[in-house]
Chain A
Amino acid sequence: MTIFNMIEQPVFAYLDPGAGSMLLQALIGGGAGLYVFLKHFLKMFRAGAFRPARRQTACVTGKHAEGT
């Protein structure tokens, strides 16, 4: 819990919300699902998914504000 509380997760426009819910169901399901959860959890941890997010301060102007 401490690890999670260190971070402020930004909301991403292109995140895939189904994936997290799917992984959580593996955890709740128990058994082999627990292994699947831990595997992805560790991958996410190593990839820095739970590092504190840097807050963006720059203004979005001109070209950068155009379609993404």
Chain B
Amino acid sequence: MGTPLNNHHPPKWADHFLAWFCRDELLEEIKGDLHEFYVQELSDQKLWKAKLYYWYHVLHFLRPFAIKSRRQHSNTLTMYRNYFKFAWRHALKHKGNTILHVLSLGLGIACSIFIFIYLKGELSYDRFHEEADRIHRVAIDLVDSEQRRIPDATTPPALAPSLVKDFPEVASAVRLFPNWGNKFLLGASPEKKFHEEDFIRTDPGFFDVFTFPALHGDPARALEERGQIILTRSAATKYFGKTDVVGESLMHYLSDTTEVYQIGAVLEDVLLHSHFHFDFLAAIPFENLEQNWGWYNYYTYIKLAPGAKMASLEPKLQPYFESQLEERDYYNIIYSQPVTDIHLRSHLKWELEPNGDIANVYILALLALFVLFMSCLNYLNLKIAEVSKKYREVGVRKVFGANKGSLIGQFMVETLLISFFALLFASLLAEGLFRQLRDVLGRDISILDPENLVAFLLIGLVVVGWEYWPDSIPPSTCLPSKLH
């Protein structure tokens, strides 16, 4: 053969591997065949090829008939099935305790699910606008004669058109002029009139900045003329009983006369998570605003051109603003806010609507975590108290040879079972709450929304993970060797 003697030995590691996984009673014949094969291969193959083939054939013995049955493995499975059976029986036997556990844990989980999903809503304000990160509100803080800075969201009417005109970074700008406490008596017919407050006067460029989906009509062209008006779905339904009302007219009853508005478009209702709401949009009815830097009763929103940075525009605002003013107004301070930050981080005077507070978000998040933590601790506490009642069961288990590990396993399975049902109960409860509180929350929320499902699963993981880990403590501290 011409091969050195030591090469008659096939790869050692392959043999070790084979011996490790192969049934003992088959090992001899299999190894014999393989060695014989190897010797044959050596006579007409290169050494490395023969070794490679040897490995190949060894690996081909990884088949059920040749692999050692791991008795330990199947035993573990059986034990877990047994744990589960006992946990189930235990739960049924102590129905009161079980229900208490499931309810208390479930309540805590439901509470945190609810809070977290609510917070998710708070954090999502004004993100429904297309390219919301390019939309900013420009505000001007007033500085009085005693150098006190008074935060103020309102701006002069000349600001928006001037910004578009003089800054290439500003792609579009829009003014909002809310009702300022006035009530508008509107009606489709003299018999059907309502006083309305959610009436905003604005520029035709409203839809260049904001995104509000239209139901009927072309909203971009529905504010071009003075006598036009845009309704939301619910306003249209309220006055006409239907939504497709483009072209119909809506009367505005003043004390002595009646204005007639032509309906130019119908929008979907404004989402809850917007920092301002309206039912009616109409053009601004006042003249000579383009040079008016003296009135502070308009809100100014700008949308930056693609690629433009607010950080580079911001320093130019103050000099520009001052250059437009007469001397007495020099002190006022102009600045901008991202539209998505307004709800949680802006607390100016004359906000369009009461805003939330980022501090509340943190507090609520902490609260939710705390509730979750408390209900887990509470469960743990109840469980430890229960352990003393289980001496007999544990004793019998020990007599039958249960070791510490298997006793712990028993407790873990019980905990997992309870946690699972608590989670189930919590999800039902949270879902029910969302349905009941639909009117308060202003929209439909469901746990089954994909992004909420993620939050839900995360909470579930935290609970189960938490329960799983510390629950290994009680049996080992309370039980073995201390039995009488």
Mutual binders A and B = no
